[in-house]
Amino acid sequence: MTPPVLAGVDGSPASTAAAHWAAEEALRRDAPLRLVHAWPWLTDGRAAFADTDALPAAAQQVVLDAAAAIRRGHPGLAVRADVVLDAAVDGLVAAAADAALLVLGSRGLGGFAGLLLGSVSRATVARSAVPAVVVRPSGRPDGTTGAPAAPPEVVVGIDTRAVDEAVLAFAFREAGLRGARLRAVHGWDLPPAFATVGFVPSGPEVAELEALETKALSLALAEWRDRYPGTELVEQVGLGAARTLVAAAGTADLVVVGRRDRPHDIGRRLGRVAHAVLQHADAPVAVVPHP
């Protein structure tokens, strides 16, 4: 059976956008869609202060409403709606274990309205064992993100010193599913020696370094060009990894970044570049875990 695309829903505009985006992705993949709402009330002690019989019913209504909206907009798509009785992050991470992809809204109903990336989305993406996409709403009535400018384009961030197969394979597949070109972006930083107090690199020095970075990117992608001859591949380098990637995101259909799946003393974390792109890119952002 084809693994489902899973979307977390909570009734917020961002989760509505995520559900519609996930439905389109499921259709592209010829996969079923699973909608999940995590309901923590019965697991964190607050059930003693509420009408517990009404809580699961209210939770169930969230996913039923989301499923009804998806079925209206995407007839023929197999949609399953579930409530998991668990804290949001734990419940979503566990539910996504057998999914092909996890899709989340950029922020839910709680927290501070000014934040672009909510704490639940950030923590879930940092822990997910499968690729996770974060979607922002556009303000359209159905919560969808709208159509990016043509031609369609997928953007992927590349570290030429540690090119990862999982990240590039995901990006090429997404470009193929959309009939889009793939823009491989490598942002580079000045060597630490350039941070010497009072030293300002000259234009020719920066240009020489950029030429080396451009060559490194072309070499890193040479094999991938051969693997995917039907995908148009554009290479781009720029000074500053996060800044270059966010700028390239522009009107992209999707931005793909990697996340090293390594435990930390305070739990799994997003890398600096992935965090910056999630905070500042308007396009949906896919975070792909890799060793």
The residues near 150 (Cβ < 8 Å, ≥ 6 apart) are: none
The token duo for 185 is 């972006």
Q: What is the pLDDT of residue 115?
A: 41
Asked if residues 124 and 155 have their Cβ atoms less than 8 Å apart, the reply is no
Asked if residues 215 and 110 have their Cβ atoms less than 8 Å apart, the reply is no
pLDDT tens digits, one per residue of 159-190:
998 889 999 999 999 999 999 999 999 998 87
Q: Residue-wise pLDDT tens for the chain (291 aa)?
A: 799 999 999 988 889 999 999 999 999 999 999 999 988 754 444 444 455 566 678 888 999 999 999 999 999 999 999 999 888 899 999 999 999 999 999 865 444 444 446 788 899 999 999 999 999 886 444 545 555 556 899 999 999 988 899 999 999 999 999 999 999 999 988 776 665 655 666 678 788 888 999 999 999 999 999 999 999 999 999 988 899 999 999 889 999 999 987 665 444 567 888 989 999 998 999 999 988
Q: What is the pLDDT of residue 54?
A: 61
Exposure of 131 in the CB half-sphere (CA atoms within 13 A): 26
Please give the CATH number for the structural domain made up of 5-135: 3.40.50.620
Kindly list the distances between the CA atom of residue 140 and the CA atoms of 16, 69, 149, in Å, as whole numbers in the listed order: 10, 14, 17
Distance CA 79, CA 275 (A): 31
Residue with tokens 């009072």: 198
**Total-model pTM:** 0.88
What backbone phi and psi angles, to 5 degrees, belong to 22?
-65, -35
Exposure of 273 in the CB half-sphere (CA atoms within 13 A): 26
Q: In the chain, where does the domain assigned CATH 3.40.50.12370 lie?
A: 153-286
Q: Which of the following CATH numbers is that of domain 153-286: 3.40.50.12370, 3.40.190.10, 1.10.3720.10, 1.20.1080.10? A: 3.40.50.12370
Q: In the chain, where does the domain assigned CATH 3.40.50.620 lie?
A: 5-135
